[in-house]
Structure 1
Amino acid sequence: MTSRRIVFAPDSFKGSCAAADVARALAAGSGAVDPVLRPMADGGEGTLGAIAAAVPGARHTPVRVTGPRGLPVDAAWLWLPPTDDAPQGTGVVELASTSGIELLGDERRPWDASTLGFGQAIAAALAHGVSRLVLAIGSSASTDGGTGLLTALGARFTDAFEVSIAPGAAGLEELAIADLSRLRGLPEGGVQVLTDVTSPLLGSAGAAAVFGPQKGIDDVARADAALGRLVDALRRLPGATLAETAARHADPEAPGAGAAGGAGYGLLAWGAELVPGAARIAELTGLREAIAGADLVVTGEGAFDGQSAVGKAPGVVAALAAEAGVPVALVAGRIAPGADMSAFARVVSLTDLAGSAEAALTEPERWIEAAGAML
């Protein structure tokens, strides 16, 4: 056993182990006395669980919404206790659990999946009276430019005959008029949107081109043109209200506007702020304060590659540890050849430890615990 102060701040090992479970397994393997668990996320699947595990008094609030198939989905949003800048608490809503691609299983709905359910969960948090919203928008199933979520918040999108458009990217192809006259206002503490994506809405680096194929879109140009119709409709708004003015000036070129099939752009049109997901989650969970005075920090994720050190959870954790002068170790399911390991004092690959990726995936917690023992 050891009396050293060790902070465990891993992301989830996607598809095999949630971040909170990874942190517990690493701590158990290490034999640390009073380990400090700060599971991480970057705005995708598992964000609610990571924040709930680290924030005392966090409370899941059940909500039933319309999922990406158009069928009911039981989900929850997370209420965080009051703070000076959010006296009625903060609501955290996760797109992955309401409108996420994981909810489709092996199916893909490239043209009619929407973010309606995500917007319904946001509306539920607003109805509860929260002072601030934090929205995690990773793992989207749709490419609807956020029209689904904005519809749930009171906006209306219609065709040339003033008939409401169909859900998803297919509906955007018929979009002619955007009406924000009944769009709900932001809470007084504002809305922060967590994402690790910096893509613009349109073009070769945009939502349709980069993320459309993984959602089943086989005609990127068609989907990109549909998203362009949304930009055109918002720019035609008269600007008579604050909501219309914000939407007119939403920048489709803004980093992150293309996140979640353009939901980032839809949220910008609402007046929300896009922020780096992992860094904001570190703030919400008090990771910097936890690292201060620690002897070691352990982070990790399922697959560590060249992008992991830039904006993703391991990179954010490593930067905070370096700032505090604390060594940091990495545990990953697999490590890509050529990945930069210079920030880490020690690195453990579960694939190497278990002998193969298949073995590591079959019993992930066993091998994560073994990695903790090695460290």
Structure 2
Amino acid sequence: MRVLIAPNAFKHSLNATGAALAIKEGLQQSKLDCVCECFPVGDGGDGTGDLMIRKHNGLLVSVDVADPFGRLIQSSFGLVNNGETAIIEMANASGIHLVKPSALNPLQATSFGTGQLIIAALDKGVRNLVLAIGGSATVDGGTGILRALGVRFLNAQGEELTAPEQLTELTRIDISTLDQRILTCAITVLCDVENKLLGAEGSAAVFGPQKGATPDSVKKLDAGLATFSAVALQQTGIDMSAVKHGGAAGGVAAGLHTFINAQLVNGIDFFLHFTRFDEAVATANLVITGEGSIDEQTLHGKGPFGVAYRAKQLNLPVIGLAGKIPLEQNEKLDQFFDVLLAIGNGPADLVSALSQTRQNLIRTAHQLGNLLTQ
């Protein structure tokens, strides 16, 4: 049996590669006579860029950039396709993992460092930019990136605004000093959510609390993004608040779409095409995927859905492994997943469950392999 193992990352516990290797280890310990191919996937979340660079045997380029609070760190991006395409992982410069949980503050954190990575890629002469924007610590609408590219955000006195909490004072956006090289690049932003920029389902309300925002901070951030959107509409004619995927990464997707013509795409669809997943799935007899939680939200562009959808095009059986699955049978999920298995080995608090992800995946895959021999 040829088994294609294609999980997404198990958030806060195992990256996608680690998850794939754990599943493979379990299967190989079982009685199942199988050949396993590991094909870890990413849907735009943290780690997606690294997987794409590896799949293309890309070149890593190191760059000194600002972290979310302006402190100098060493970061990197990847070059693939003979140096024509740069793959930039936002989390490498503006990531939440770069900040201690107690220090998170999206009223101050900016995406400026990611913009510095883009400038470094332009200096290499790239013609295409691919941005994986998951895992950021910011809710700045992409203003930090745009500032690094030369855009100035000004208040009524002509003073430059540099922090997200100041965006409510915004009256004018000066694009006269924008680095024109960016407009000659094809820019693709990988998004793993469909949320728009503003409101109850917007970037501040949904993602702000994950990045340290208090209820009061969420209101300030949403108000600042609303002001940004209103000024942008007046100057560009583009309604940032109406853009699908616009709320991804604290509004980075909306800001880059509006000011540098970035194309916003479903992350897993782009990833699977870019890494030639169809060639791998064509030789498989069984597909195993997974991530921390599989539920109806998974069907809105998450990694396991992208994998399962393509497998089902070939009528292949699909098994989904997750830390959490729905209690009730779900007809919509049943169309794409033949079996959903929760990997937990017993009642446990979240910290314990996360720490045991690898062992639980190995054990579940081992049992699964034995079952498949029957």
Task: Indicate whether the TM-score tops 0.5.
Answer: yes
**Cα distance between partner residues in 1 of 2:329 and 2:87:** 33
Provide the aligned C-alpha RMSD in A.
2.1
Alpha-carbon distance in 1 for matches of 2:19, 2:346: 16
Structure 2 SS opposite 1:42: coil
Query: Which range moves more in the overlay, 328-337 or 115-124?
Result: 328-337
2:264 is the counterpart of 1:271: no
Q: Does structure 2 retain, via aligned residues, the 8 Å contact 1:207–1:258?
A: yes
Whole-angstrom CA distance in 1 between matches of 2:186 and 2:116: 18
Q: Which moved more, 1:177-186 or 1:279-288?
A: 177-186
Deviates further, 24-33 or 127-136: 24-33
> What does 1:291-330 align with in structure 2 at a 5 Å threshold?
291-330=281-320
The yes-or-no answer on 1:253 pairing with 2:242 is yes
The equivalent residue for 1:49 is: 50
Displacement of 1:146 in angstroms is 0.9
Secondary structure, counterpart of 1:21 in structure 2: helix
- TM-score scaled to structure 2, two decimals? 0.88
**Where does structure 1 differ by over 4 angstroms across 4 or more consecutive aligned residues?**
357-360
Aligned pairs for 1:127-166 (under 5 A) are 127-166=123-162
**Conserved 8 A contact 2:165-2:220:** no
Choose between structure 1 and 2 for higher RCO, CA contacts under 8 A separated by at least 6 residues. 2
Q: Is the 8 A contact 2:41 2:303 kept in 1?
A: yes
Cα deviation for residue 355 of structure 1 reads 5.8
Q: What amino acid is the match of 2:320? A: L
Match 1:24 to one of 10, 16, 21: 21
Q: Residue 196 in 1 paired to residue 189 in 2?
A: no
Partner secondary structure for residue 164 of structure 1: coil
Looking at structure 1, the residues matched to 50 and 347 of structure 2 have their Cα atoms a distance apart, in angstroms, of 30
Aligned match for 1:114, one of 95, 110, 114: 110
> Shift of the alpha carbon at 1:128?
1.4
Map 1:199-278 onto structure 2 (within 5 A): 199-215=195-211, 216-219=213-216, 220-237=218-235, 247-269=236-258, 270-278=260-268
Stretch moving more, 302-311 or 185-194: 185-194
Amino acid in structure 2 at the alignment position of 1:77: F
Specify the SS of the correspondent of 1:307: helix
Per-residue deviation, residues 252-271 of structure 1 (Å, max 9, x unmatched):
21111122211111111210
Map 1:72-87 onto structure 2 (within 5 A): 72-82=72-82
TM-score, with structure 1 as normaliser = 0.88
Match in the other structure for 1:92: 87
Q: Give the structure with the larger helix fraction.
A: 2
Q: Are the equivalent residues in 1 in contact too, given 2:153–2:162 (CA < 8 A)? A: no
In structure 2, give the amino acid aligned to 1:41.
G
Greater Cα offset, 279-288 or 356-365: 356-365
2:29 is the alignment partner of 1:36: no
Instruction: Give the conservation status (yes or no) of the 8 Å contact 2:245–2:254.
Output: yes
Matched, 1:11 2:8: yes
Letter of the aligned partner of 1:298 in structure 2?
I
Q: Secondary structure, in 3 states, of the residue corresponding to 1:157? A: strand
In structure 1, what is the Cα distance between the partners aligned to 2:98 and 2:338? 38
1:252 aligned counterpart, secondary structure: helix
Offset of residue 334 of structure 1: 2.4
Deviations 1:129-163 (A, max 9, x none): 22211111122222211110001111111222222
Deviation, structure 1 residue 322: 0.2
Tell me by how many angstroms 1:248 deviates. 3.7
CA gap 1:151/1:358 in 2 versus in 1, 3 angstroms: closer
- Please give the per-residue CA displacement for 1:231-278, whole angstroms capped at 9, x wherever unaligned: 2332343xxxxxxxxx44253211111222111111112100110111
Aligned to 2:62: 62
Deviation at 1:191? 0.7
Counterpart CA distance in 2 for 1:199 and 1:110 is: 18
Q: Given the alignment, which residue of 346, 349, 368 partners 2:339? A: 346
Opposite residue 44 of structure 2, the aligned amino acid is: G
C-alpha separation between the residues in 2 aligned to 1:202 and 1:309?
Answer: 23
Segments of structure 2 that go 5 or more residues without pairing to the other structure are: 369-374
Residue 240 of structure 2 aligns to a residue in which SS? coil
- The separation in 2 between residues aligned to 1:371 and 1:133, in whole angstroms, is 39
Which runs of 5 or more residues in structure 1 are unaligned?
Answer: 83-87, 238-246
Structure 2 counterpart of 1:97, which letter?
Answer: N
Matches of 1:204 and 1:178, distance apart in 2: 26
Residue type at the aligned position of 2:221 = A
Alignment partner, residue 244 of structure 1 = none
Task: Determine whether 1:280 maps to 2:286.
Answer: no
User: Does the CA-based 8 Å contact 1:186-1:271 persist in structure 2?
Assistant: no
Is the Cα contact below 8 Å between 1:354 and 1:360 reproduced in 2? Answer: no
1:180 maps onto 2:170 in alignment: no
CA 1:310–1:232: 2 relative to 1, 3 Å: closer
Paired with 2:351 and 2:307, the residues of 1 have a C-alpha distance of: 28
Alpha carbons of structure 1 residues 346 and 209: separation in structure 2 relative to 1, 3 Å? closer
Aligned match of 2:372: none
